[in-house]
Amino acid sequence: MKMDRRTFVNNIAKAGLGVSALSIDKRLAISQDKAKAKNVIYIYMEGGMSHLDTFDPKEDSETKGEFSKIATSADDMFISEHLSGLAKHGDKMAIVRSMMVGTGAHAQAQYNARTSYRPVGTIIHPSMGSWMSWLKPTEGTLPGNVIISGPAKHPGSGWLPKKHSPVPVIDPSKGLQYSDIKDMNMFKSRWEILNKINKNVNDNSTSPEVRAYVEFYDETMKLLQSSELDKFNIANEDAATREKYGNDRFGQGCLLARRLVESGVSFIELKSGGWDTHVNNFESLSNKLPSHDKSITALIEDLEQRGLLESTLIVIATEFGRTPKINVNNGRDHFPGAFSCAMIGAGVKGGEVFGETNDQGTKIISERKVEPKDFNATIATIAGLSVDQTYFSPTGRPFKVAGGGSPVLDIIA
């Protein structure tokens, strides 16, 4: 019984912590001067991206591996030779090299990366896109939270209402599943009958659950008929643009992300798999990195050209790093003790490198270690979400957007 539960939550909130369940206006009543990003493109490298071969290159002969480092457009910022496109945009990019996480297991660390919380048996925490969809609802017909090529296991909206779950696009070149209407005339006549049959319910129902459904059907119908739906269809881009982004799944996903940003989708997660390089790390990364570099660079430049980079934050995240020691299979294993993540675009202090590992890349030597919750607090702050506000789940448990993490202010513009 929702009402009672809400009353219950309000009561305990007042009794215990002096806060109450808030209206949307109050939820947003935070300092907005750092909130530069209207949109977030969260690129997730699933499996654990090797920090040493990407954003934290080393000279040490034991751990360096097969790649060299190159300079970027920012002073004293060096990255892997396979990221030459990104290197041109070092002045817009911030790197955090002192990332660490408490677990070396994929599922737990991925959950932690996406929710800022450790997985527990009694509740599922919302992912960042769902917080954003809940706290900053978008206007217009498109959903506010989309995931491209997402994994089977994703925390989604957690304890938040299901409508804030990311809308999945399984294959970016195919768009939204089942949204392709073959015979629009037939569909319209079906919709006419449906409205006649529903008329009584539509006009007279006082049930909140029914009303919510009526709205869902109306919204979905609007979406299916709207020209905005076209935004999910990357076939509308010319061949040169598609080529510029790279004609693989990830590249096309980046292109779709740009189209969705243009139409106001506020949070887009784009997953890329295959970073769990226990075997032949260098061979697989020498293929992977250039193509990903090409796609992300195209995304940055395209957004910039369209004037959207100043309101769009691009995040490159992963669950942990990989062992500096190269294993017998010429691979690298899981390394939660130190890894790197990056941010580009809106709200980011470009050219900043935060944190440092030792010469071998085996240890963080800078003072502050950055956990996923701190990194997420940084994203949240740039996106204008309060990280201090406490929100209550329907079961009355208190949570914060980034799990109590503190933003890395040094990389916020």
Which CB sits closer to another protein, 121 or 307? 121
Residue 354's Cβ-count burial label (10 Å; 0-12, 13-18, 19+) is: buried
DSSP notation for 306-371: TT-GGGEEEEEEES-EE-SS--TTS---EETTSEEEEEEETTB-TTEEE--B-TTSSSB-SS--B-
Residue 105 touches another protein, criterion: CB under 8 A: no
Q: What is the 3-state secondary structure (H, E, C) of 230-264?
A: HHHCHHHCCHHHHHHHCCCHHHHHHHHHHHHHHCC
Beta strand 167-169 with 93-99 is unpaired
Residue 68 touches another protein, criterion: CB under 8 A: no
Which CB sits closer to another protein, 98 or 157? 157
Rg (CA), the chain: 22
Q: List the structure tokens of 182.
A: 């073959």
> At closest approach, how far in Å is the CB of 47 from another protein?
19
From the list 1, 239, 240, 328, which residue makes contact with another protein (rule: CB under 8 A)?
1
Residue 120 touches another protein, criterion: CB under 8 A: yes
From the list 20, 68, 220, 287, which residue makes contact with another protein (rule: CB under 8 A)?
220
Name the helix (H) or strand (E) containing 39.
strand 39-45
374 SS3 class: helix
From the list 62, 68, 91, 207, which residue makes contact with another protein (rule: CB under 8 A)?
207
Residue 184 touches another protein, criterion: CB under 8 A: no
Which CB sits closer to another protein, 179 or 311? 179
What does the CA dihedral 24, 27, 30, 36 come to, rounded to 10 degrees? -60
Residue 203 touches another protein, criterion: CB under 8 A: no
> At closest approach, how far in Å is the CB of 33 from another protein?
34
From the list 201, 279, 365, 409, which residue makes contact with another protein (rule: CB under 8 A)?
201
Which CB sits closer to another protein, 99 or 132? 132
Which CB sits closer to another protein, 168 or 290? 168
Beta strand 334-335 with 321-322 is antiparallel
Residue 255 touches another protein, criterion: CB under 8 A: no
Residue 405 touches another protein, criterion: CB under 8 A: no
Residue 412 touches another protein, criterion: CB under 8 A: no
What is the torsional sign of CA 323, 326, 329, 330?
positive
321 residue type, one letter: G
Residue 123 touches another protein, criterion: CB under 8 A: yes
291: phi then psi, degrees, rounded to nearest 5: -70, -40
> At closest approach, how far in Å is the CB of 331 from another protein?
18
Residue 20 touches another protein, criterion: CB under 8 A: no
Which CB sits closer to another protein, 211 or 368? 211
- Name which of residues 135 to 154 contact another protein (CB under 8 A): 143
Q: Which residues bind another protein (CB under 8 A)?
A: 1-5, 8, 12, 15-16, 120-124, 143, 161-163, 165, 167-168, 176-181, 186-187, 189-190, 192-194, 196-198, 201-202, 205-210, 212-214, 216-217, 219-221, 223-224, 395-397
